[in-house]
Chain A
């Protein structure tokens, strides 16, 4: 256990109203609750919403399916963090198993485990939404003050320490090729530069929802239910009358008879893409135009590892501090799919399960671990007819299933990305490059890489594809013909229901989405809080 201060344990000791779960001081679950605002989830959208609602004097209840864990629990160990903090032990899968999805499942949601990369929504993404989805108030200037507030509230700013070698290799390799790369802003205060952001920040430096907005809401009297699944809404005549919940075991198994009914004036769904549309589907809410669950985006990611003569120690130091958007600008946004480049942190388990192959060759590469570097390419999906994203439907047990076809259009981008990453890595001095593909092999030169990667069959399951950004499924639009929710986040057909998370994005973002959620939800929740309470509030 860390000796550092733990603001969550302190808050619990002060009497925070946290019900359910197995954390120290857990309160027993009630059978019924009523409140002004019931918020499903506790991640980026839920956290921002909760703080603003509580500031407006509204009675708030948050419902989180995952556990309450905090810095005392965060021991920087993959074997503990993935089962405790991520959906499906950090191995949520698409229906055909071809994409592994990293998504948080704990108080704070993905913000508790993300790698701190903070980008405002790119201007060209917003312009696309305005042009194609009738979101006229979504210009970069309209949103700028809302982003600014979120940045202030969450300590988002330049990272002044030098990049670690893993990131600096991206900077140096790109520079040699004349490719622009820049520094990534981060949401941290007093960061120790440990490199364990993905395992829960042990020093509370990361300004996740877990240590910012959720404690602020709890200090104002909000109630938090943990290890509690939002099962379905009761509704009639275009209004929600109640939310049915059930307690779950750590592995997600429902606990018989541990049900809870919540009545609220307004309901905010912020369980994250995949889970939010699934809740609406389970509830049988109106969906007259068939949009619910569709256009779910992943930023499909392909990975290129490389070995260097020098020590890289990719586990150490802030992850993802350098990026390149060069390949997002080569073609038009609706042309061949573009991609963003970043350098992810490397830890033994994630490295061993993301690379390819086995046996003596795997052993050789694992023993080079301190010399390994990796780049990832995040493909910007959702801007072309051949990149319509995936569709969330329900399994027989009511849990969500995401069918995401990796089309030839998307996989063409994956091949170009593997080539571009290999070229940058060789330019940075790589001794060998390993494309994330089951039929790839150790490549010793850029010319060999061109030949081998150029001939790889870019098929699902052969190509290693992962995702850490799930978006869409409850798309926002200026017309009910085009989306599930209105531009202000309210459901088009249900009057006392809003959606406040990444599931409202009508396309992918084209950048790590946390700040897009913070900024956009800041505006949605500020206005909703004013409407419900009659009081003006500000996040910062």
Chain B
């Protein structure tokens, strides 16, 4: 279920504060930092940074720990994320791009996740603490964002045959 398992609606973003607080956050010196999270249906550099930071938090214990193997696994995961996103309806991709754009700006990231450092500098415990804050919040916007990031990472990762040995899943029965 789910590739798009979580997505955040434009209406929700507006209702949740992007319209007012978000514009304030993005105003002035922060606005020029805005970068789309998706372009042409694929993750941009900034969108990829958000997703891979979250991936390492969500998939802790499932990703290799040896640095070179981990880097290869994350590269492959980024490709699988692109494939997963490409299959979503354009409207959903656009909503997701909006979320990633917000998360890629320091003010937006801090407001939505409480994460104080940039995604590329955040360690796994810091991102996990951010995810915990998001799902502990009663604000639907933070919960929606949490589900989107968590579920899309899980969908892209556990759908791949190379992960199945980890699960003890033999794959489909040949016919």
Contacts and interface: CB of A to CB of B under 8 A. Distances in A.
B89 A88 contact: yes
| A88, A192, A395: residue with the most chain B Cβ atoms closer than 10 Å | A88
A392 to B, nearest CB: 15
A367 B168 contact: yes
A363 B60 contact: yes
Interface string B74-103: 000000000110111111100000000000
Contacts of B155: 349, 352-353
A393 to B, nearest CB: 11
B60 A461 contact: no
B89 A252 contact: yes
A352 to B, nearest CB: 4
Contacts of B1: 82, 90-91, 100, 102, 349-350, 353-354, 466
Interface residues of B, number: 53
B59 interface: yes
Contact of B169 (A202, A348, A350, A353): A348
B58 A362 contact: yes
Interface in A161-203: 192, 194-196, 202-203
B105 interface: no
Contact of A95 (B4, B11, B86, B91): B11
Interface string B148-175: 0011001101111001101111001101
Contacts of B158: 348-349, 351-352, 366
A24 interface: no
Interface stretch (B20-28, B45-53, B64-72, B139-147): B139-147
A316 interface: yes
Interface stretch (A48-56, A71-79, A488-496, A517-525): A71-79
Given A358-B57, A363-B60, A79 B150 contact: no
A188 B81 CA distance: 35
Nearest to A248: B89
A364 interface: yes
Contacts of B154: 349, 352-353, 362
B9 interface: yes
A252 B4 CA distance: 14
Nearest to B160: A79
Given A91-B3, A359-B60, A438-B135, A461 B163 contact: no
B5 A366 contact: no
B140 A194 contact: no
A198 B173 CA distance: 14
Contact of B3 (A83, A203, A360): A83
A287 to B, nearest CB: 23
Contacts of A2: 175
Contacts of A370: 167-169
A96 interface: yes
Interface residues of A, number: 59
Contacts, number: 163
Interface in A436-466: 438-439, 459-462, 466
A362 B140 CA distance: 23
B106 interface: no
A350 B57 contact: no
Interface in B98-150: 124, 128, 131, 135-136, 138, 140, 143-144, 147, 150
A100 B9 contact: no
Nearest to B173: A194
A353 B164 CA distance: 15
Contact of A89 (B4, B128, B138, B175): B4
Nearest to B8: A97
B164 A348 contact: yes
Contacts of A89: 2-4, 84, 87-88
A369 interface: yes
A358 B5 contact: no
A7 B60 CA distance: 45
A370 B131 CA distance: 28
A397 B7 CA distance: 18
| A95, A97, A350, A460: residue with the most chain B Cβ atoms closer than 10 Å | A97
Contacts of A206: none
Interface string A402-415: 00000000000000
A479 interface: no
A34 interface: no
Nearest to B56: A359
Nearest to A87: B89
A170 B21 CA distance: 49
Contacts of B8: 97
B159 A83 contact: no
Interface of A: 2-4, 75-79, 82-83, 88-91, 93, 95-97, 100, 102, 192, 194-196, 202-203, 250-253, 315-316, 348-354, 358-360, 362-364, 366-367, 369-370, 395, 397, 399, 438-439, 459-462, 466
Interface of B: 1-9, 11-12, 57-62, 83-84, 86-92, 124, 128, 131, 135-136, 138, 140, 143-144, 147, 150-151, 154-155, 157-160, 163-164, 166-169, 172-173, 175
22 contacts: A82-B2, A88-B88, A90-B1, A91-B1, A91-B2, A91-B4, A96-B144, A97-B144, A194-B173, A195-B173, A196-B173, A203-B175, A250-B87, A315-B169, A316-B173, A348-B158, A348-B169, A352-B158, A353-B154, A354-B1, A366-B62, A367-B167
Given A96-B140, A196-B172, A359-B128, 6 more contacts: A88-B88, A91-B1, A102-B1, A358-B150, A359-B60, A363-B62
